[in-house]
Amino acid sequence: MKVSVFLVTYNQEQYIRQALNSIVMQQVNFDYEVIVGEDCSTDATPTICDEYAATYPQIKVYHHNPNKGLLGNWEFVMNKCQGEYIALLEGDDYWIDTHKLQKQVDFLDMNPQYSLCFTSADISMEFGGQIGAEQSLRNIREGEYTSDDIFGKPLSILTSTVVLRNCILPIRYSGKLLYADYYTFMMLLQKGNGYGFSVPMSVYRLHANNMSGHDVNFYKKKYSQDKFFSKIFPQYKEYFKQDMYRCLQHLIYDMKYGWKYRLIYMLHNPKLLFSSFLLTTFNKYLLRIN
């Protein structure tokens, strides 16, 4: 098998047809499979996936019951992929170039030193049922990328633009992760550099269901992920230490566990003893009394 197309979906009945259509319209000269992880959706997504699987024998749908969650679904689908290469796509995104797979696979075939390649993308902004004007996320310069280009840099490798070499399976996603894709890319970049194409070949759909606000829970998960990453990528420990510190600046005001994060915050910067622990604690109880 030359390529496995990785597709994860949950409650995406309004988008999944376009994602699947963008796969089956690909013009390629190799065999490929489509591994769909359908995560116990409560809408018409399972029916639509089964409809496509009945029409296109290369599509294999796995229905999870109970729901595995995002990390569990990612892990399941990744480890089902048998192809020499894996092309990533999420159920609310889609490809816009009918030769996308062929171009990226040809490139990786001719350049075995690279572990993955990715492209720029267009963004479709959809809110309240209205589709906004498509915007371009064309911050990908044409050329080679190392792990140094990813850590701490404003580069966005969008998942649905990536084709990767199948060289890190089997893979397990720790519950400490916030982003499965980011971890996947960093593991790959330990095997070989990446290559970016400046031409957009995918659309990233931005809508209410995939916009995550940066609340306390986000910073808790981000802090946990940074701590995990600092251990497995020690060469970037200083970067993750700084990022953990930024997370702590938000977590010290958590009403339930703020005291714990204030103590950790002090350890990061003992000079802030009064501002990070005593004052925030005092303000918390003062506000409660008032």
pLDDT tens for residues 210-220? 555 567 888 88
- CA–CA separation, 89 and 6 (whole Å): 6
The pTM assigned to this predicted structure is 0.85
Give the model's pLDDT for residue 254: 59
CATH of 3-210, one of 3.40.720.10, 3.90.550.10, 3.40.50.10800, 3.40.50.450: 3.90.550.10
Give the model's pLDDT for residue 124: 82
Tokens at residue 184, please? Answer: 């996947």
Quick one: pLDDT band at residue 241, thresholds 50, 70, 90? Answer: confident
DSSP codes of every residue in 124-155: EEEETTEEPPPEEE----SEEE-GGGTTTS--
> Per-domain residue ranges for the chain?
3-210, 216-289
226 neighbors 233 (Cβ within 8 angstroms): no
Q: What is the mean pLDDT of residues 42-53?
A: 98
Q: How many CB atoms lie within 10 A of CB 52?
A: 20
Q: What is the mean pLDDT of residues 82-105?
A: 97
Phi, psi of 232 (to 5 degrees): -90, -20
Q: What is the mean pLDDT of residues 105-127?
A: 92
Amino acid residing at 96: I
Most confident option among 173-187, 197-211, 245-259: 173-187
Quick one: pLDDT band at residue 53, thresholds 50, 70, 90? Answer: very high
Q: If you count them, how many residues does the chain have? A: 290
Nearest C-alpha neighbor of 202 from the set 103, 99, 94: 94
